[in-house]
Structure 1
Amino acid sequence: MLRPRYRPGWVASWIGTKKSPLDCEDFYTQSAGKCMDAVRIANNQQVMIKKVWTTYSPQETEIGQYLSSSEMAAKPGNHCVPILDAFKMPGYSDLELLVMPLLRRFEDPPFRSVGEVIPLFKQAFEGIQFMHKHHVAHRDCTDVNILMDPSGMYPLGFHPGETVLALGSGTRLAKHYTRRERPPKYYLIDFGHSRRYNPEDGIPAEIPLGGADRTVPEFKGEGTTRPANPYPTDIYYLGNFIKERFMMKFTNFEFMTDLVKNMTQDDPSK
């Protein structure tokens, strides 16, 4: 079920009143162009619906469903976003809709200590190791594709269009626990660039794709047209994520220096 703003016949609630639009729940929109928030009627769960054009992301639905199947979901180390449902869009041959839990950015709300960050690192490593173990390369595991399951920290939910606000409100702040009180689970999302490989075919090699992180050494110069093993690139992405989002901004992450240097070497074969 969509929010009132996105239902047929919607009329803005501030029309004809003295209310400021900023104080109204239906003023706030979903900023992600490919996504729409909703509520799953069966259990009242907040969800996100994503458009997938199969012409551009041919394996996204298949990989997402594979990694979140009941068999895979039960395995330790799986930090791939669950696909709750998937269906084809009527009238389109190349458009599918994926239903996933509503998540938050990994750093929202802000971390309060180094100790709160460690589970993020650990789970990101576990998640990419899990994908590689099952012969899937993410190929864009950067900061924009690492999200947090907020259900424990925000038991009453939050406004999907303005996450500081309470669910259904344009004025009240969303109440939440800290990460220490309710440790969250972190997820890798967006398998639009991902590929699943047959191990019998040997080491995979792919032409680079333009992900969110454009600093990958093997993608520079002639590397833009040279096929490369995508697994080491995933390792670089995670290492550079830690370096740029934490080590370059905050103190007390020196203990990650050696590991991050190894993860971000210029030579991906090392």
Structure 2
Amino acid sequence: MRRRPPSFSDDEGSLYSGSESASTCSSTDSSACDEDEVNVRMAPDWCAYRCLIEQRGFRLDTCRDVKLWYQRYWETLIAQGQSVSKDCAGYRRACAGGDEDDLCRDAGLPENLFRGTHVSSDTKVVIKAVHLSSREYDIVRYMSSYPLCKDPRNHLIPIMDFIEVVESNLAFIVMEEWSPNFVPDPPPTLRCFLGALRQCIEHAEFMHSHRIAHLDISIRNLLTDYNSHYAYIDFEVSRRFDDDPDPRIRCCRGTELSPERERGDWADPYKADIWSLSIVILHATSWTGYNLPELRPLLRSMQEENFSVRPNATEVLREFDDIVRRMSDCRLQSGPP
């Protein structure tokens, strides 16, 4: 059964928040260089766009929505025999918000994000405000376009709508709300866990095959729907290199930085992703308790100091599949320790 975690966080830097590190980014392709005015985070007046968003079938969370969500969540916990504390900052904010129809922003999210609901399906969503000319908007639209959206390797978070406000140079990306609890709630068997890791590798291979580097692959940017599906989010520092067959970048922003990026050296963006992906796999295996010595040679190759000898994403996926094929069914059906 799918289990949803609390939707309203009280910690800064939580779900969908991305990396906060200050940075500069440059590229050997001058057309791909950052323009600060379009690639910084937006801080829209959400009340001003509330009607427009509602016209597209989505409702931003109100004080009433937040209080109702907490009440239902507590009822679920009580039914499961768990103790409940109603001293939650999110609930207190909703109660102190004044009118029931006032918007109630989650303080755990940055100002460019707002929680909401798809009215017709009652699906919970997260809405992200971006500059209309930002790299993130370009990349997410591109990966959501046909035929890329039908590629089984594409594990982008499901996008429900793009809402453009041309006169404000603003766009809203409406995403399904998935959970960041990949590690605290591991898949029940090794086979399922390896399937989750494979989706992470496969999406990197998909992006690189379309000349996209994510550049901030990390546990915090991988979500799950609790139904064996995993997805990437946060393309704020990502790049497309359509006209550059051998791109190089200098970029010190991100969570899991390769050695060359840490030093501020010129880096191969795809091989930088490979390093970050290896750290994600290491963290995931460590935190879930799965012991996978079979992966160690592959991970060592992904962490080569010299990025030119690291495998590419296609080679990583091929080797990963070969490793899994050599495992016995009994091993694959075993659960975490």
TM-score when normalising by structure 1: 0.72
1:220 aligns with 2:262: yes
The within-5 A match list for 1:1-270 is: 1-5=59-63, 20=86, 22=88, 26=94, 30=106, 31-33=108-110, 34-53=112-131, 58-89=134-165, 92-93=168-169, 95-105=170-180, 106-107=182-183, 109-150=185-226, 183-198=227-242, 200-214=243-257, 216-221=258-263, 224=264, 226-247=265-286, 250-270=289-309
Letter of the 1:42 counterpart: S
CA distance change for structure 1 residues 209 and 97 in 2, over 3 Å: closer, same or farther?
farther
Q: Which has the higher helix share?
A: 2
Structure 1: how far apart are the matches of 2:266 and 2:158? 30
Q: Could you give the per-residue CA deviations for residues 52-93 of structure 1, whole angstroms, max 9, x where no partner exists? A: 2468xx210111011012321111211112322222458733
CA deviations 1:113-167 (Å, max 9, x no partner) are: 43331111110111000011111111111111111124xxxxxxxxxxxxxxxxx
**Residue aligned with 1:207, SS:** strand
1:99: how far off?
0.4
- Residues 79 and 127, structure 1, Cα contact 8 Å, conserved in 2: yes
Give the 3-state SS of the residue equivalent to 1:269 in structure 2. helix
Amino acid at match of 1:184: S
Distance, in Å, in 2 between the alignment partners of 1:44 and 1:239 is 37
**Letter of the 1:32 counterpart:** L
Q: How many angstroms does 1:212 deviate by? A: 1.1
What is the Cα deviation at residue 269 of structure 1?
A: 0.5
1:220 to 1:37, Cα distance in 2 relative to 1, 3 A? closer
Q: Is the 8 A contact 1:40 1:47 kept in 2?
A: yes
Cα distance change of structure 1 residues 248 and 217 upon mapping to structure 2, 3 Å threshold: farther
Per-residue displacement from partner, 1:166-219 (whole Å, max 9, x unpaired)? xxxxxxxxxxxxxxxxx4211111111111112x432111112310124x1112
- Which amino acid in the other structure matches residue 109 of structure 2? A
Going from structure 1 to structure 2, the CA distance change for 1:251 and 1:119 (only over 3 Å counts) comes to: closer
Query: Any gaps of 5 or more consecutive residues in structure 2?
Result: 1-58, 72-84, 96-103, 310-337
Q: Which residue of 2 aligns with 1:172?
A: none
Q: TM-score, normalised by structure 2?
A: 0.59
Distance 1:126 1:20 in 2: 41
RMSD, matched Cα? 3.0
Q: In structure 2, do the counterparts of structure 1 residues 108 and 29 end up closer, same or farther at CA, with 3 Å as the change threshold?
A: farther
Against the structure 1 CA distance between its residues 121 and 268, is the aligned structure 2 distance closer, same or farther, given a 3 Å change threshold?
same
TM-superposed CA distance for 1:249, in Å, is 6.7
**Mapped partners of 1:6, 1:63: distance in 2:** 35
Shift of residue 111 of structure 1? 3.8
Q: Which amino acid aligns with 2:118?
A: R
Q: How far apart in 1 are the matches of 2:126 and 2:302?
A: 32
CA deviation after TM superposition for structure 1 residue 251, in Å: 4.7
Change (3 A) 1:24 1:211: closer
Q: How many residues are aligned here?
A: 222
Q: Which residue does the alignment assign to 2:32?
A: none
Tell me if structure 2 keeps the 8 A contact 1:193–1:209.
no
Kindly indicate whether the alpha-carbon contact (under 8 Å) linking 1:61 and 1:86 is maintained by their aligned counterparts in 2.
no
Q: Is the 8 A contact 1:68 1:81 kept in 2?
A: no
Q: Distance in 1 between matches of 2:132 and 2:252?
A: 16
Contact 1:83 1:98 in 2 (8 A): yes
- Percent identical: 25
Contact (CA 8 Å) 2:252, 2:262: kept in 1 or not?
A: no
1:266 to 1:54, Cα distance in 2 relative to 1, 3 A: farther
Note closer, same or farther for the CA distance 1:39–1:249 as it changes in structure 2 (3 Å cut).
closer
Report deviation, 1:253.
1.8
Q: Distance in 1 between matches of 2:166 and 2:244?
A: 36
Structure 1, unaligned runs of 5 or more: 151-182
| Cα separation, 2, equivalents of 1:96 and 1:107 | 32
